[in-house]
Amino acid sequence: MNLGIVTVRGPDVHPNRRLLEAAEKRGHRGRLVHPYRTWPAVAGGRRVFCGEPLGLDLLLPRQGAEIGDSSLSLIEQAAQMGIPVINGPAAIRLAASKYRTASTLAAAGIPVPDAVLINTPDAAPAAAEAVGGFPVVVKPVSGRQGSGIFLAPDPGSLQHYAAAAGGGLQHGLLVQRFIPPAGRRDLRILVLGQQTAGASAMRPKDGDFRTNYHLTGSAEAVEPAAEIQRLAVSAARTLGLQIAGVDLVIDQSGRPWVMEVNYAPGFQGLEAATGLDIAGAIVEYAVRCWEGATGS
């Protein structure tokens, strides 16, 4: 199988390197597909690609939440041309926006923290009141590795963050209820299809509330309760994702909340914590999907 990994990053970045290694180890050919070097096109009344050739059996989009419309068009065209795509473009559109993710999950009865999508600094006071008051979490609707996420303790700081976003407010800014770190458990669960493939717990650094592995550098293997695993699988399925990293918080009272669902989850921390071959599991799942789609 020829596996294409859609990414703007190089082969030395952990997930890319590991996925390429895992594909080769299993007798498949992996290739990074840079979405700014391969372009969807129409020529002679047919859908084609120009630039670097595609020539792939399956496409694994991993550009992350900052994916743009042009890259989504590439993925959509690949799917329209019969190339299996995991995850599909409709699911990626949902998952690439933290607000659309939260809205879709909430409509399905999946617990998410209260949140308001604002597009002007003037909305800050009403947004904070709607999510239960200060402090509130402020985050871009699209982001990666915990970047751009702040804790606003008062109206002035919230309005400052909103004003600092400037033109970025055209995409919106998420104001979210804050769940204090004390007594909280933060989990990252990898979902492949209808099953979980691994889970880790993370803790924020002293004085911080964020637990992303790229910020803390630490994670530990855990075996979440069955109902938590089912919640993670349900969240991924609700968004139409076949591969997903589901971030959950279990608050001091023991109530779970789905914080984010990532369609291209990093797994460096998960591999380090669990010792599992997560890259291999992803490749093997992709191969099974390709075999099911093509009858191979």
251 pLDDT higher than 70: yes
Tens-digit pLDDT profile for residues 68-80: 899 999 999 999 9
Residue 107 lies in a domain: no
Residue 128 lies in a domain: yes
Closest CA to 142 of 226, 229, 72: 72
- Sequence-distant (6+) residues with CB within 8 A of 284 are 26
| Final residue of a structural domain among 177, 196, 219 | 177
Tens-digit pLDDT profile for residues 11-53: 999 999 999 999 999 999 999 999 999 999 999 999 999 999 8
Q: Domain check: are 58 and 83 in the same one?
A: yes
Residue 160 lies in a domain: yes
**Range of lowest pLDDT (63-67, 111-115, 285-289):** 63-67
Position 215 scores a pLDDT of 46
Residue 123 sits in which domain range?
Answer: 114-177
Q: Domain check: are 224 and 256 in the same one?
A: yes
Position 164 scores a pLDDT of 79
The mean predicted confidence, pLDDT, of the chain is 90
Residue 133 lies in a domain: yes
To the nearest 10°, the Cα dihedral for 281, 68, 236, 209?
90
Q: Domain check: are 224 and 155 in the same one?
A: no
CATH number of the domain where residue 12 is located: 3.40.50.20
Percentage of the chain exceeding pLDDT 90: 72
CATH number of the domain where residue 235 is located: 3.30.470.20
Q: Domain check: are 87 and 11 in the same one?
A: yes
Position 213 scores a pLDDT of 47
Q: Which DSSP symbol is given to 216?
A: H
- Sequence-distant (6+) residues with CB within 8 A of 117 are 99, 141, 172, 173, 174, 175
Query: 3-state DSSP call for residue 72?
Result: helix
Q: Domain check: are 268 and 191 in the same one?
A: yes
214, burial (CB in 10 Å: exposed 0-12, middle 13-18, buried 19+): middle
Mean pLDDT along residues 265-292? 94
Q: Domain check: are 129 and 155 in the same one?
A: yes
- The number of domains in the chain is 3
* 210/265: higher pLDDT: 265
CATH number of the domain where residue 158 is located: 3.30.1490.20
Q: Domain check: are 163 and 228 in the same one?
A: no
Q: Domain check: are 91 and 127 in the same one?
A: no
Residue 106 lies in a domain: no
270 pLDDT higher than 70: yes
Q: Domain check: are 21 and 85 in the same one?
A: yes
Position 292 scores a pLDDT of 87
Closest CA to 102 of 243, 261, 227: 261
Position 34 scores a pLDDT of 95
145 pLDDT higher than 60: no
pTM assigned to the model:
0.91
Which helix (H) or strand (E) element contains residue 79? helix 69-80
Residue 75 lies in a domain: yes
Position 179 scores a pLDDT of 93
* Confidence bin at 104 (pLDDT 50/70/90): very high
Residue 102 lies in a domain: no
Residue 77 lies in a domain: yes
Position 218 scores a pLDDT of 65
The first and second tokens of residue 157, run together, are: 């700081």
| Final residue of a structural domain among 128, 151, 177 | 177
| Final residue of a structural domain among 160, 177, 194 | 177
Q: Domain check: are 158 and 213 in the same one?
A: no
- Sequence-distant (6+) residues with CB within 8 A of 19 are 3, 5, 30, 60, 62, 279, 282, 283
- Report the alpha-carbon distance of residue 38 to residue 40 in Å, rounded: 7
- Report the alpha-carbon distance of residue 74 to residue 196 in Å, rounded: 29
Position 159 scores a pLDDT of 85
Alpha-helical segments (H) within 81-207: 89-95, 98-107, 124-130, 155-165
Count of all residues that appear for the chain in the document: 296
Tens-digit pLDDT profile for residues 201-243: 987 766 656 555 444 556 799 999 999 999 999 999 999 999 9
Position 277 scores a pLDDT of 97
